[in-house]
Every structure is written in C-alpha cells, then in structure tokens.
Amino acid sequence: MRRLITTILLLLLAGTFAAQAQDAQPTATIGPTLTSILSRREIICGVNQSVFGFGYLDPNTGEVRGFDVEFCRALATALFGDPAAAQIPIYPDLQRAKDDLASGQVDILFRSLVLNAADDATGFEFGPPNFYNGQTLMFRSDSAVTDWEGLDGATICVTPGSTAQNTLPYAASSRGASVQLLEQPTADAAMEALTNGQCDAQSGDMVLLTGLQQRADDPGAYRVWQQPDQIYTREPFAPLLRAGDDQWSNIVRWTLLGLIQAEQLGISSENINSLLRQSDGQTTEDDATYRSRVGPDVARFLDRSLGIGGQLNLEPDFMQAVIRAVGNYGEIYERYLGANADLPIERGLNNLWQNGGLLFAPDWR
C-alpha cells in the first residue's frame, strides 16, 4: 500500500511539472548589446551626414536628419518608446565607423552601406535591406536616349576605380549596346563634363546621381534612369551590426520588417487608432470581436495581449509606438525620398512586392 501511494504521488507530481513546463513562456536572456543599451537608456546609432536625403545636416535646425536617421529613431522607439532616445554620432569616415562598431562604442550603423560578402565575413553582419540601390545613368534632359539600345556608341563619364568603370561595359554589351568610357576625377567633374557635352551620360549609383541632379542650379536640365530595368547593378543598403549577438540582430530585423509589414497591412500613423482594440469606457472588444473587425494579421501585429514583442524582450505591442513615432516604411520614404522631398526617387525597386518592388515582410507570428 505504501508503495502504491508513493507511486501515485510521483505520477501526480510529474503531471504537475509537465503542465507547468507546457504553460511556461520562453524568456530570452538579455544579450551584451541590449544590456549595454538598457544601461545607458539610449541607442548609439552611427550615420553619415553627407548623403543627401539619407543623412544630412539640416541648416534650419542644426540636426542631422534623413531616411537613415528615421530607422535609428524607430529602433529607439522600439526599445524605449521614445524616438529621441537615440544618440546619433556622425561618421564621415567609413573605417572609423566600422572600428567603433567593432569595439562596441556604437550599437549599429545606418550609413547607406552596401550589403556585401566581405563585411559579412569579417566580424559583422547585416540587417534586412532598407533601400535597394544600384548603378544607373544620368542624361541631359535634351538627350534622345530612352533605352539601352539607344545608348549604342555613346560616351559615358565615370570616375576612376568606381563600380561603373568596372561593370558598365559588360552591362551595356549584354543589353545590346557598346559604350566608350571617359574617366573624370570626381563625380562633380563628371557632371560638368556631361553638362558641357563631353559625354552623353554619366554613370553612378542612383542615390548619388539623383543628389547631383537636385543640387544643380537647374535640376530639370537632367534626368536619371530610375526604373528597375534601367538599374544595372544590385547594391542594397542595409544596417551593419556586430556579429554574434542574435538577440540584438532579431530586434533590428523585426523592427525593420515591422515597418514594411505595417505598410503591407495598410497601417499608418494616421489610421492606427482605428485599428486598435476599441472600448466605450465600460466594455472592451473581446479577442474574437477584435480579430473579426481588423483581421488576425493586424490583431497579432498591434494588440498588446496578442502581440509577440515579448519574445524579443520588447513590449508585446512595441510596433504601435514605432508607427506613431515614424510611420510605416512608405511614410518614411515619402518624407525623404517622395516626389516633394529633398531627394525625389521613384519607389521602383523599393516598392512593396505587390506593387512590383522588392520589399517583402513575412507574416508577423
């Protein structure tokens, strides 16, 4: 009898422990980067202030602003609910920026860095691309060239050692055109040669050429090829992090993907209130009613009781605060790169996948 009682008690205890293990929520150990960020109550996010539209000094406010800076503010909001909890040191020198990242003086770089294998293999890793860039061509507005075939026999201004110098001849020949390269010492000199008729077009990456166009006395005197079939290399910009801290990488990854996801789901800083769980002061929508009204994807993305942010050591509904602070990806793009912005670049490759672009975020689950 004593043995029987002992056996029953052991079985009951085993069942209790099994139930507790099944109900337990996974808790993430706080990694070194997040520990450092939380201890100082701000994220240190290195940018470049010399990329017009992406990171530049606003003469009216004395602050560095731009497309890249908004992603720093988004991460600060994800972590602290405050877009101002971001220290943004300026790094005009890329090597110094990488050195400070490697030593832990900076948490992340948003510096219009091209995702590449060399950095990814030497102690760093990249987050998701936040802008798809590539080499293209700028023409005078009076040029009759509208496609690659029309470029046959043209002279193209390039700078020494540039990607354009190394890749354009093959890119043109593979598209049915033969071109001659005219080397110029700088991008500004190449644009002057284009203006003076020494070359038929100037090659460079889309961001650089559009910036040169917008800084010209008459931007309308030039046009930049911006369509996907006109861009002849693939050089996406992505944030750079130290390798080996998966928790921090996950926070960066899912915050950036969250901005894209918000645009995919039609959630913006303007309509977010209407997509939250509603209450009349006495009763609040239950789970079933809320999911039915906004859909399960929006509910998982925004609602505190249904959200997944806790698995990242963030607030379950952290994307609510992020969207209120900076908007979705499309809103950020429109502010700095839209038709009425400082650096107007067609969405093109940077459109959502359903609109013909490359931006895509997996389901939020």
217 and 343 in a single domain? The answer is no
Q: Quote the pLDDT of residue 258.
A: 97
Q: Quote the pLDDT of residue 319.
A: 96
In a domain, 172, yes or no: yes
Residues 6+ apart with CB under 8 A from 290: 277, 278, 299, 303
Residues 6+ apart with CB under 8 A from 268: 262, 323, 327, 328, 330, 331
266 and 193 in a single domain? The answer is no
Helix (H, G, I), strand (E, B) or coil at 79: helix
Q: Quote the pLDDT of residue 59.
A: 82
Q: Which domain holds residue 103?
A: 32-131+237-272+309-355
51 and 185 in a single domain? The answer is no
Distance CA 74, CA 265 (A): 18
Distance CA 141, CA 221 (A): 5
179 and 220 in a single domain? The answer is yes
Q: Quote the pLDDT of residue 15.
A: 38
In a domain, 90, yes or no: yes
58 and 123 in a single domain? The answer is yes
Handedness of CA 309, 314, 315, 321 (dihedral sign): negative
49 and 108 in a single domain? The answer is yes
What's the CATH number where 148 sits?
3.40.190.10
Task: Give per-residue burial for 195-223: e unless 16+ CB within 10 Å, then b.
Answer: eeeebbbbbbbbbbbbbbbbeeeeeeebb
As for how many domains the chain has, the answer is 2
The count of C-alpha atoms lying within 13 angstroms of the C-alpha of 248, restricted to the half-sphere facing its C-beta, is 24
Q: Quote the pLDDT of residue 28.
A: 55
Secondary structure of 290-355 in the HEC alphabet? HHHHHCHHHHHHHCCCCCCHHHHCCCCCHHHHHHHHHCCHHHHHHHHHCCCCCCCCCCHHHCEHHH
Stated pTM of the model: 0.88
In a domain, 105, yes or no: yes
61 and 115 in a single domain? The answer is yes
In a domain, 340, yes or no: yes
**Residue-by-residue pLDDT tens, the chain, 365 positions:** 444 333 333 333 333 323 332 233 344 578 999 999 999 999 999 999 888 899 988 888 888 899 999 999 999 999 999 999 999 998 888 999 999 999 999 999 998 899 999 998 899 999 999 999 999 999 999 999 999 999 999 999 999 999 999 999 999 999 999 999 999 999 999 999 999 999 999 999 999 999 999 999 999 999 999 999 999 999 999 999 999 999 999 999 999 999 999 999 999 999 999 999 998 888 899 999 999 999 999 999 999 988 777 888 899 999 999 999 999 999 999 999 999 998 999 999 999 999 999 999 999 88
61 and 186 in a single domain? The answer is no
Helices 329-337 and 246-265, interaxial angle, to 10°? 80
